[in-house]
């Protein structure tokens, strides 16, 4: 295979900060490339498109999937990942994002960052000479949603017209799902308690896209007849102190067998993980036959290899 990018798809050198920066054709290209890379990996065929290249991976928050899938992914592409905890970097002692970006650009061919402030990632990307990948901010989680779209396409054979219900907190994953689903001409319904809606700017911008975004407080209205049920934790990283208050606010926003029975018979259940069984989702549902959460987690690897191979 080659990394030939068809007319209209120009990804080399681009940052991957938000799915809203990519056209439907570019997202489609990345998903198809991810599927091809998955196939090569399964067959044991080498695909060293990034031989000798290095990805710096800055983590200011915990991670299992993102860290391991990026590190494994760059290795499988013939390159090397560098795990950099922000605590160990001079960044943790006050060195600026600007200087960090300028310096890292002299050593590595790509930077992945997981942090709190989305603006900080934009600042890093602005200052860096190499592509920057958003590995999760408080606002967005685009790598997750690229893998999610790939998973939906694998399971349902298409994206266009697919109906997704996201139930729970209007957080980073919800925001990126709104970006990704509306770009790909899907319907995304987001059910949250009052005061926990997704980002208003993300919702407003998504209205320009081909798909539909529907916000509601009614779980039943969201779940009725959908192809995909999706949820995430009630308290994200950085919100640990709000845990008790959120547990009360979200009590009715759980994916359980009642909610599952409202969706299409062949609906799939998704969760970006880590999950809290008994809170946002019951064990019965997440460990049940309609759950695809581990395929979804696996696809992080393939989707991120497609991102790295395309932009680095």
The only residue of 14, 35, 40, 63 in contact with ligand CP, by rule CB under 6 A? 63
- Choices 12-20, 62-70, 201-209, 216-224; region in contact with ligand CP by CB under 6 A: 62-70
The only residue of 47, 53, 65, 118 in contact with ligand CP, by rule CB under 6 A? 65
In sequence order, which ranges of the chain are alpha helices (DSSP H)?
A: 24-43, 65-76, 97-104, 118-127, 142-156, 172-183, 200-206, 219-223, 243-249, 257-262, 283-286, 293-311
Shortest distance, position 120 Cβ to ligand CP, whole Å: 18
The only residue of 83, 156, 273, 290 in contact with ligand CP, by rule CB under 6 A? 273
Quick one: what does residue 64 bind among ligand NVA, ligand CP, none, with the CB cut-off 5 to 8 Å set by partner type? ligand CP
Using CB under 6 A as the binding rule, the residues of this chain from 159 to 218 that contact ligand NVA are: 171-173
* Burial class of residue 225 (count of CB atoms within 10 Å of its CB; 0-12, 13-18, 19+): exposed
Using CB under 6 A as the binding rule, the residues of this chain from 9 to 28 that contact ligand NVA are: none
Active-site residue 143, yes or no?
no
Using CB under 6 A as the binding rule, the residues of this chain from 133 to 152 that contact ligand CP are: 136, 144
Interatomic CA distance for residues 162 and 21, integer angstroms: 22
Q: Tokens for 161?
A: 């017209």
The only residue of 32, 64, 243, 258 in contact with ligand CP, by rule CB under 6 A? 64
Given the complex with ligand CP, which of 47 and 300 has the nearer CB atom?
300
Interatomic CA distance for residues 179 and 23, integer angstroms: 11
- Residue 210 contacts residue 35 (beta carbons within 8 Å): no
Does residue number 115 form part of the binding site for ligand NVA (CB under 6 A)?
no
Using CB under 6 A as the binding rule, the residues of this chain from 235 to 264 that contact ligand NVA are: 236-237
Active-site residue 272, yes or no?
yes
Q: How big is the CA angle at 179 (ends 122 and 63), to the nearest 5 degrees?
A: 60
Query: Locate tokens 């592409």: which residue?
Result: 77
Kindly list the catalytic residues: 114, 141, 144, 232, 272, 300
């Amino acid at each position: 295979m080659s990394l030939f990018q068809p007319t209209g798809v120009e990804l080399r050198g681009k940052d991957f900060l938000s799915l809203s920066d990519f056209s439907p054709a570019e997202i489609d290209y990345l998903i198809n490339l991810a599927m091809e890379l998955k196939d090569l990996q399964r067959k044991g065929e080498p695909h060293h498109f990034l031989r000798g290249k290095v990805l710096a991976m800055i983590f200011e928050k915990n991670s299992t999937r993102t860290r391991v899938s990026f590190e494994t992914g760059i290795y499988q592409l013939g390159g090397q990942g560098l795990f950099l905890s922000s605590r160990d970097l001079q960044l943790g002692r006050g060195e600026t994002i600007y200087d960090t970006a300028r310096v890292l650009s002299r050593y590595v061919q790509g930077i992945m960052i997981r942090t709190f402030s989305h603006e900080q990632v934009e600042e890093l990307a602005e200052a860096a000479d190499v592509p920057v990948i958003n590995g999760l901010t408080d606002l967005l989680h685009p790598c997750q949603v690229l893998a999610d779209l790939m998973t939906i396409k694998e399971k349902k054979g298409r994206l266009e017209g697919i109906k997704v219900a996201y139930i729970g907190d209007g957080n980073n994953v919800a925001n990126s799902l709104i970006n990704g689903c509306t770009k790909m001409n899907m319907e995304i319904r987001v059910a949250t308690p009052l005061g926990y809606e997704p980002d208003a700017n993300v919702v407003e911008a998504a209205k320009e896209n081909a798909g539909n975004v529907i916000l509601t407080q009614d779980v039943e209205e969201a779940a009725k007849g959908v192809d995909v049920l999706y949820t995430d934790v009630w308290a994200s990283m950085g919100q640990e102190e709000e845990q008790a208050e959120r547990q009360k606010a979200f009590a009715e926003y759980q994916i359980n067998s009642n909610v599952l029975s409202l969706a299409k018979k062949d609906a799939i259940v998704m969760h970006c993980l880590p999950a809290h069984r008994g809170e946002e989702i019951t064990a019965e549902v997440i460990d049940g036959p309609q759950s695809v959460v581990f395929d979804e987690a696996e696809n992080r690897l393939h989707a991120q290899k497609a991102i790295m191979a395309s932009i680095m």
